[in-house]
Amino acid sequence: MKIGVTLGHAGDTVADTVRYAVQAEEAGLPMLGMGDAPSLFREVYGLLMASALATRTISLGPTVSNPVIRNPYVTASAVATIDEASQGRAYLGFGTGNASVRNLGLPKAKIAQLEEAVVAIREAFLASVDRDDATRGKTAQRSSPLEWPTRVVPIIVSAGTGPRSMKVAADHADGVLLHTVCGDIELVERRVAQLREMRANGPRAGEPFEIWTYTLAWIADSIEECREVLGSIVTASLGIFDLSREVEGISPEMRERLRAFQDEYSFSAHASAEARVNVELMEKFGVTDFMFGRVAVYGSASDVAAQVRRLEAAGVDGILVSGGIPNKQRLIESLGALQSAVGSPS
């Protein structure tokens, strides 16, 4: 099981982020991600470049960018630049958008738009690599404005509550980042089975495909401490739920409560550890236990290790843990210990 962490959250300077990136690498974590929400966080590719130059082994990329705020070829060029600077350690997390687009007054991308962008970005990488491979008897069949990348950077598609984004991942990407499921092992098992079947029947059947879950985690003997620390970032997962339709594992009554919560959610306070407005709204609408149960892994070190092992047994390859809390140093230390406890990353 692989364990990663996200950095570069609200209030973190460039120097802070680089320091935490180095700490994550030294703790033995194989992966870090950084949010692409320009209205809330520092510019993601600036943070990634600074972190790439300060580290040597850890994989890094945006989690999650989208086709609304950036042209797909701009994204392809940006992440390929990070890949060159890091000597082949970059990946691209990609989805339909959440706070990054809502804070600009823009709609989230449609699934067709997501698919089109993922295909375009991958084609851009393939076109450049095909040109480099021409001397080995390959002929470029694609055209793209990118001329210089030498590697096809892995793409991880962020999937929400429905099967359509999962199919985009299975058909076109190198992995998937499942949101809003990590606390429900039976739902995780169903999602994994669906993804494996989609991959086996899709255009990239037989190629490697990793399944990750986005996870909110805190290790402490006090459950009350865990809930206090995680509250603000638990609320941040609300925007992933598509409540315009029925969602697996959500009763009609809970769906209405979540919709009321979503209607009043403050995206200006999204993932802010200091702002408590969304935590108060979560409690107001009586959805706190549901949200924690779906998106968080927390408790003592042994309890969390057991939960992570259950995710691994369900077919999950890695968990990407949100670092959107004040005490990142303690979080990274505990995740390093957790990585050692559940086995070294392969």
Q: Is the pLDDT reported for residue 141 higher than 80?
A: no
Q: Does a cis peptide bond (omega within 30 degrees of 0) precede residue 64?
A: yes
pLDDT of residue 139: 42
Mean pLDDT of 297-316: 97
DSSP at 109: P
Contacts of 201 (CB under 8 A, 6+ apart): none
Q: At 132, is the pLDDT very low, low, confident or very high (cuts 50, 70, 90)? A: low
Which CATH number is 214's domain given? 3.20.20.30
Asked if 305 and 342 touch (Cβ cutoff 8 Å), the reply is: yes
The share of the chain scoring above pLDDT 90, in percent, equals: 76
Ranges 30-34, 133-137, 258-262, 302-306: which has the least confidence:
133-137
Where does the chain have alpha helices with state H?
A: 14-26, 44-54, 72-85, 99-102, 111-132, 163-172, 185-200, 223-235, 252-264, 277-284, 288-295, 301-313, 328-342
Average pLDDT of the chain to the nearest whole number: 91
Alpha-carbon distance of 249 to 247, in angstroms, equals 6
Q: At 104, is the pLDDT very low, low, confident or very high (cuts 50, 70, 90)? A: confident
Q: Is the pLDDT reported for residue 301 higher than 60?
A: yes
Alpha-carbon distance of 316 to 308, in angstroms, equals 9
Mean pLDDT of 96-108: 83
Per-residue pLDDT tens over the stretch 176-211: 999 989 999 999 999 999 999 999 999 999 999 999
Asked if 238 and 261 touch (Cβ cutoff 8 Å), the reply is: yes
Q: Domain tally for the chain?
A: 1
- R_g of the chain, CA atoms, integer Å: 19
* Domain with 268 in it: 2-342
Give pTM, 2 decimals. 0.91
Alpha-carbon distance of 33 to 322, in angstroms, equals 9
pLDDT of residue 137: 41
Integer angstrom CA distances of residue 39 from 44, 159, 231: 11, 22, 21
H or E segment to which residue 34 belongs: strand 31-34
Alpha-carbon distance of 227 to 284, in angstroms, equals 16
Centroid of chain to Cα 343: 21
Per-residue pLDDT tens over the stretch 20-46: 999 999 999 999 999 998 888 999 999
Alpha-carbon distance of 151 to 101, in angstroms, equals 29
Q: At 140, is the pLDDT very low, low, confident or very high (cuts 50, 70, 90)? A: very low
Q: Quick check: helix, strand or coil at residue 52?
A: helix
